Amino acid sequence: MTLDRRRLLGSAAAAAAAGLISTPAAVGTAARFDAVAFDGFPIFDPRSVAALCEVLFPGRGEALSEAWRTRQFEYAWLSSLAGRYRDFWEVTGLSLDVAASTLKLHMTIEQRERLMTAYLSLPLWPDAAPALTALKAAGIRLAFLSNLSPLMLAENIAAANLGWIFDHVLSTDAVKSYKPDPKAYQLGIDALGARRERILFVASAGWDAYGAKAFGYPTLWVNRSGQPSETLGAPADAIVANMNGLAGFVGLPDNASSASRSK
């Protein structure tokens, strides 16, 4: 059993002891939303990849990490818009290659494999487990709605033992596109069977918060790095630095929100 699994189970036990577990029908009268859909990165912490970049390429790791991440999303959107879709795992490998080439780094096969594999076992953010547990204990339906490929989602969920907590795992690969394409956000409505105004979307990036809100989802942006909001309109309903206040935003009782923050 992993540490994250023990933390989640411990939080669930604490929630039960505090009387937080209720039926979905009871929650429906109190909670603002029937379901919460998450991007991958409010939950999974990608900083471990950046740290490994620095281990493998001392003094150049930060530059490699930034170039790699920028290229990931550029290539994802480019492949989708050009009608030559590649899933996010393939995009991740291609963007790593071009980032290393741009920086004139000699990357061995072993180094490349280690960097790619790091994206399959990302740790949880410390505040993710208690927030998820509070929602699960209250009967809120939970889903991933992520650009990560099915492989990346499956491997990370298995590594963190999160399979028991999510009702749906939705990769935008199903529509061969990427957020912020409306077809990608529609996956949440189709899977959860709820009206869009009753599904809270939790984003990790400003562009995703914009896209979800423009689609019509109530949106919470977990802005961990303090980035400025997008200026195109459709602002998120709330911007927070972490997920400690998520239960309260959903509308769970104060004791559920407090339990989440105290973990």
| Nearest CA-CA partner of 37 in 186, 160, 183 | 186
Q: Which letter, b or e, does each residue of 191-204 get, where b requires 16 or more Cβ atoms within 10 Å of its Cβ? A: bbeeebebbbbbbb
Can you list the positions of beta strands (E) in 55-198? 141-146, 168-171
181 is a catalytic site residue: no
Question: Which one from 4, 34, 39, 167 is the annotated catalytic residue?
Answer: 39
Which residues, other chains included, contact 238 with Cβ-Cβ below 8 Å and sequence gap of 6+? 219, 220, 221, 249
Sequence-distant (6+) residues with CB within 8 A of 244 are 127, 130, 131, 260, 261
Cite the active site residues. 39
